[in-house]
Amino acid sequence: MRLFSVLPLNFQPVLAVISLVTITIGNFSALWQTDAKRLMAYSSIAQSGFVLVGLVAFSSLGNQTAIFYLATYLFGTMASFLLIDALSPSLSKNSVSISSFNGIGRQQPLAAVLLTIAFLSLVGLPLTVGFSAKLLVFSSLWEAYQQSSQNLFLILFVFGLLNTAVSLAFYLKIPFALFFRKTAEETPVVTLSWGVTVLSLVLTLPIILLFLKTDWLMNWISGL
Summarize pLDDT for 130-165 with one digit per residue, the tens.
999 999 999 999 998 888 878 888 999 999 889 888
Q: What is the pLDDT of residues 28-51, one digit of tens each?
A: 999 999 999 999 999 999 999 999
Q: What is the 3-state secondary structure (H, E, C) of 72-132?
A: HHHHHHHHHHHHHHHHCCCCCCCCCEHHHHCCHHHHCHHHHHHHHHHHHHHHCCCCCHHHH
Statement: the pTM of the whole predicted model exceeds 0.85? yes
Given this model, what pLDDT does residue 92 score? 58
Q: Under a CB-based contact definition with an 8 Å cutoff, are residues 80 and 118 in contact?
A: yes
d(CA 72, CA 145): 25
* pLDDT at 4 > cutoff 80: no
* pLDDT at 189 > cutoff 90: no
Domains identified in the chain, total number: 1
Model confidence at 91, pLDDT cuts 50, 70, 90, reads low
Inter-CA distances, 139 with 94, 113, 134, 195, 213, Å = 38, 30, 8, 39, 18
Give the DSSP per-residue string, 143-210.
HHHHHH--HHHHHHHHHHHHHHHHHHHHHTHHHHHHHHSPPPTTPPPP---HHHHHHHHHHHHHHHHH
Amino acid symbol at 60:
S
Residues in the chain: 224
Q: Under a CB-based contact definition with an 8 Å cutoff, are residues 171 and 123 in contact?
A: yes
Q: Which residue has the higher pLDDT, 49 or 58?
A: 49
Given this model, what pLDDT does residue 112 score? 93
Q: What is the dihedral of CA 180, 26, 202, 114, to 10 degrees?
A: -10
The range of the structural domain enclosing residue 76 comes to: 2-222
Amino acid symbol at 196:
V
d(CA 8, CA 91): 54
Given this model, what pLDDT does residue 5 score? 73
Q: Under a CB-based contact definition with an 8 Å cutoff, are residues 62 and 50 in contact?
A: no
Closest CA to 112 of 167, 49, 170, 178: 178
Given this model, what pLDDT does residue 94 score? 67
State the average pLDDT over residues 81-106: 82
